[in-house]
Amino acid sequence: MTGTGLTWGGAIFMLASWGAILALLVFCFTRILTRR
């Protein structure tokens, strides 16, 4: 832990993780909802 706020490395890691999870969410639900 640091007290230097959210570093560039931390911010990129956070946004990349959120992005990957949301991309997986969208991919899965698009597949589930659009194909029968």
Partner 1 sequence: MTTRQREIWNTKVGLVFALAGNAVGLGNLLRFPVQAAQNGGGTFMIPYFVALVLMGIPLMWVELAIGRRGGVHGYGTTPGMFGTLWQHPAARYLGAFGVLIPTALVLYYTYIVSWCLGFSVFSAAGTYFGEITRDEMGSFLGGYLGTEANPHFSGLGAAYFFFVVTVAMNVWILSRGVVRGLELLAKTAMPVLLVLGLVLVARVLTLDSVHPEHPDWNVANGLGFIWNPDLSRLADAKVWLAAAGQVFFTLSLGFGAIQTYASYIRERQDLTLTGLATTSVNESVEVIIGGTLAIPAAVVFFGLAQTREIAGSGSFSLGFMSMPVVFQQLPAGQLFGCLWFLLLFVAGITSSVAMCQPMMAFLQDEFQVSRKKAALVAGAGMFVLSQPVVLFMAHGFLDEMDYWVGTFGLVVMALVEIVLFAWVFGMERAWEEITRGARVRVPRVFYYVIKYVTPAFLLVILGVWGYQDAIGVLLMDGVPDETRPYKWGARLLMLGLLAVIMFGVYKRWGGRPMDAEEHRP
For 16, counting Cβ atoms within 10 Å of its Cβ (0-12 exposed, 13-18 middle, 19+ buried), the class is exposed
Q: How far is the CB of 2 from partner 1 (least distance, A)?
A: 5
> What single string gives the DSSP state of each residue in 5-29?
-S-HHHHHHHHHHHHHHHHHHHHHH
Q: How far is the CB of 27 from partner 1 (least distance, A)?
A: 8
Chain residues binding partner 1 by CB under 8 A are 1-7, 9-11, 13-14, 17-18, 21-22, 24-25, 28-29, 31-33, 35
Q: How far is the CB of 34 from partner 1 (least distance, A)?
A: 11
